[in-house]
Amino acid sequence: MRLPFRRGAPPPPPTAAEEEATVSEHEGHALRAPSTLHAFNRYEIKYLLPSNELPRLRDELVKRLDFDAHGANGGYGVWSTYYDTTDLKFYWEKIEGLKFRRKLRVRYYGDRFSVNDDTTVHIEIKQRVNRVTQKRRVAMPYHRARDLCDGRQMVEHNPSERAFLEEVLELIETLDLRPVAMTGYQREAFVGRESDTGLRVTMDHRLRGRDRDFHFGSDAENRLIIPAKFSVIEFKADERVPYWLTDLAAQLNMSVVRVSKYCQSVEAFGGAPRSIFHIPDDLFAGKPALSLSEA
């Protein structure tokens, strides 16, 4: 049985022409040293799956895919601080589906309670033009990322990173950006081998966040932004998601969703009215809503 949504029945899986091209790289390297600018393109499909179905999905994935360098043994944490204007320009551009839009965030991979000034984080811009979305990012110590994004000061950089960091600073100053929301989740990741080289599958559990105290290492309360009984699954491929994987999704009755973790967090904390894309607290009629409790 497919999961009901407020906007009606879930759409069928998109064709290659309908899939979004998105940018990513092999995420999960919490200890990566500062490097030059990275930019990657991939097709991406997102699904919502009941967490009790994860073992079945995992068992099938390990038959064909490998764990990424940090995806085994329960995976790793992914924490992101999102920047926006006071009137949530980036949020509304996403909700309205504008053909050109950007999003700025600082991201950390690992245990947030171990974060200090010298911890490596990534400054990222996700930019969409028509159906193509790019993710560009640079890695640097956390204190430099805060100097740039919060202090609005240019920081030391490699020559190849200069244009990107100038773009980030201009974006922050021109739009008066400030941190708006933080999201976090536990990620298991798999990568393709042989004929599936370039394929990546991620399983994100316990999606939570907060709307204040944006330092990654802050001992602040986090609340679930998606009910804990559900996980977000993403299929990412350089060209086309293989048929065996879309067939597996159909066998598990996985529901294609248009979900933004940032938008979900904004709405969960009352920053904006809940949109038609919001994953509701109670996905089943007649069942009590799941509590957005601390995670």
Closest CA to 70 of 197, 191, 237: 191
> What does the pLDDT look like over 85-138, one tens digit per residue?
999 999 999 999 888 888 999 999 999 999 999 999 999 998 877 766 678 999
CA dist 286 and 147 (Å) reads 49
The pLDDT value recorded for residue 224 is: 93
CA dist 79 and 182 (Å) reads 7
CA dist 142 and 135 (Å) reads 19
The helix/strand/coil state of 249 is helix
- Using the predicted structure, report yes or no on whether residue 72 has a pLDDT greater than 90: no
CA dist 105 and 268 (Å) reads 19
Per-residue pLDDT, averaged over 211-230, amounts to: 92
The pLDDT value recorded for residue 83 is: 98
The helix/strand/coil state of 27 is coil
Tokens representing 210? 């907060």
Tokens representing 19? 């899939």
The pTM of this model reads 0.81
The pLDDT value recorded for residue 206 is: 94
Please identify, in words, the CATH class of the domain defined by 20-268: alpha beta
- Using the predicted structure, report yes or no on whether residue 197 has a pLDDT greater than 60: yes
The pLDDT value recorded for residue 74 is: 83
Q: Which residues contact 185 (CB under 8 A, 6 or more apart)?
A: 77, 78, 204, 205, 206, 207, 208, 232, 261
The pLDDT value recorded for residue 40 is: 63
Burial 255-292 (b: 16+ CB within 10 A, else e): bbbbbbbbbbbbbbbeeeebbebbbeeebeeeeeebeb
In sequence order, the β-bridge partners of residue 48 are 232, 255
User: Which amino acid is residue 235, in one-letter code?
Assistant: F
> In this structure, what are the phi and psi dihedrals at residue 101, rounded to the nearest 5 degrees?
-160, 155
Of the two residues 176 and 15, the one the predictor is more confident about is 176
- Using the predicted structure, report yes or no on whether residue 274 has a pLDDT greater than 90: no
The mean-pLDDT minimum among 11-25, 246-260, 274-288 falls in 11-25
Task: Work out the angle between the directed axes of helices 142-149 and 162-175 (0-180°, nearest 10).
Answer: 40
Contact by Cβ (8 Å): 236, 43: yes
User: What is the number of other CB atoms lying within 10 angstroms of the CB of residue 219?
Assistant: 8
Contact by Cβ (8 Å): 283, 226: no
**Domain boundaries, given as residue ranges, for the chain:** 20-268
- Using the predicted structure, report yes or no on whether residue 50 has a pLDDT greater than 80: yes
The pLDDT value recorded for residue 29 is: 37
The pLDDT value recorded for residue 133 is: 65
Tokens representing 125? 């811009």
> What does the pLDDT look like over 232-261, one tens digit per residue?
999 988 778 899 999 999 999 998 888 899
- Using the predicted structure, report yes or no on whether residue 62 has a pLDDT greater than 80: yes
- Using the predicted structure, report yes or no on whether residue 10 has a pLDDT greater than 60: no
